[in-house]
């Protein structure tokens, strides 16, 4: 391993499907990764032949076939790959035969669609907010929805030191509405509703880009060839996924 050659450790772990770059950065910060017996730091590069370990366990490039699945996350399941911390984590719940990790997050008290894969490259492309990937939700709140509420949600709400992007919002029942977001701020919908004096009682994600939620709670399916082709087109500015 040298300072000016090789691949950054976070990118490497992402490319081989071990975890996302974001998750790798957290492992690095926690001092849980070593290369050739030495703890790595942000920016460390690795090369073929380097011995990489996480928590003392050797990490090898499995060369496995890419996996892309759509999962209906139940309420109470946490979107984390750290199985040491959360007993109700998504990885243990699905118990997939090979290592996969979620693309993005869905908070513990929310339910609905989340994509999981072992393809770290596509994770990074999808998570880039500037790509404006749509995510659609059905939301129930604690009191009747008004026209003023719908208008303000659609035009943008001040949360987390910013104004949320304009979005599509439509009332569907007395206390519920449909919303399509193109950004992913932390607990965005809940914070938007709270700002306007509402409390979310149920939140379900029903679509991510071209992928619909069409499986039962707690179950998953593989993405179809056509879905992967469409996904490739949506992230056409980056390298494509395999299908």
CATH code for the domain in which residue 106 is found? 3.30.70.580
Check whether residue 119 and residue 15 sit in a common domain: no
Is position 36 within any domain?
A: yes
Check whether residue 150 and residue 121 sit in a common domain: no
Is position 240 within any domain?
A: no
Bridge partners, residue 180, by sequence: 136, 168
Check whether residue 49 and residue 87 sit in a common domain: no
Between vectors from CA 85 to CA 109 and to CA 161, what angle results, nearest 5°?
A: 55
Check whether residue 121 and residue 219 sit in a common domain: yes
Q: What pLDDT shows up at residue 1?
A: 39
* Residue range(s) defining the domain that contains residue 105: 68-129+215-234
**pTM to 2 decimal places:** 0.74
Check whether residue 229 and residue 122 sit in a common domain: yes
Assess whether 107 carries a catalytic annotation. Answer: yes
Is position 103 within any domain?
A: yes
Is position 239 within any domain?
A: no
- Whichever domain contains 14, its CATH number is 3.10.290.10
- Whichever domain contains 197, its CATH number is 3.30.70.1560
Check whether residue 45 and residue 13 sit in a common domain: yes
Check whether residue 221 and residue 124 sit in a common domain: yes
- Range name among 66-80, 105-119, 126-140, 222-236 with the lowest pLDDT average: 126-140
Q: Of 118 and 192, which is predicted with more confidence?
A: 192
Check whether residue 220 and residue 101 sit in a common domain: yes
Check whether residue 202 and residue 147 sit in a common domain: yes
160-201 confidence digits (pLDDT tens): 999 999 999 999 999 999 999 998 889 999 999 999 999 999
Characterize the bridge pairing of strands 52-54 and 101-102.
unpaired
Check whether residue 32 and residue 150 sit in a common domain: no
Check whether residue 200 and residue 146 sit in a common domain: yes
Q: What pLDDT shows up at residue 3?
A: 42
Q: What pLDDT shows up at residue 5?
A: 61
Active-site entry in 25, 50, 82, 107: 107
Check whether residue 169 and residue 110 sit in a common domain: no
Burial 1-36 (b: 16+ CB within 10 A, else e): beeeebbbbbbbbbebbbbbbebbeebbeeebbbbe
How many domains, the chain? 3
Find out whether 180 and 135 touch, Cβ atoms under 8 Å.
yes
Residue 91's nearest CA partner among 111, 114, 123, 110 is 114
Is position 241 within any domain?
A: no
123-154 confidence digits (pLDDT tens): 777 776 556 789 999 999 999 999 999 999 99
Is position 31 within any domain?
A: yes
Is position 63 within any domain?
A: no
Q: Of 148 and 103, which is predicted with more confidence?
A: 148
Q: What is the mean pLDDT of residues 83-87?
A: 72
14-58 confidence digits (pLDDT tens): 888 788 888 899 999 999 999 988 999 998 998 877 889 999 888
């Amino acid at each position: 391993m040298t300072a000016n050659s090789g691949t950054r450790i976070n990118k490497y772990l992402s490319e081989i499907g071990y975890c996302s770059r974001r998750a790798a950065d957290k492992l690095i910060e926690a001092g849980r990764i070593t290369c050739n017996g030495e703890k790595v730091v942000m920016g460390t590069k690795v090369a073929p032949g380097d011995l990489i370990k996480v928590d003392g366990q050797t990490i090898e490039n499995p060369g496995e076939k890419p996996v892309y699945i759509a999962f209906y996350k139940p309420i109470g399941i946490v979107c984390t790959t750290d199985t040491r911390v959360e007993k109700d984590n998504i990885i243990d719940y699905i118990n997939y035969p090979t290592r996969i990790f979620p693309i993005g997050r869905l908070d513990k008290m929310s339910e609905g669609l989340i994509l999981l894969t072992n393809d770290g490259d596509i994770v990074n492309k999808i998570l880039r907010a500037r790509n404006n990937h749509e995510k659609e939700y059905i939301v129930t709140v604690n009191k009747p929805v008004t026209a003023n509420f719908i208008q303000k949600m659609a035009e943008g709400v001040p949360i987390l030191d910013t104004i949320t992007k304009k979005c599509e919002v439509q009332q569907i029942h007395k206390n519920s509405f449909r919303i399509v977001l193109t950004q992913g701020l932390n607990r965005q919908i809940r914070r938007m509703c709270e700002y306007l004096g509402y409390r979310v009682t149920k939140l379900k994600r029903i679509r991510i880009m071209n992928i619909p939620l069409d499986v039962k709670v707690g179950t998953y399916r593989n993405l179809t060839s056509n879905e992967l082709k469409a996904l490739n087109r949506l992230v056409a500015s980056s390298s494509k996924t395999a299908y």
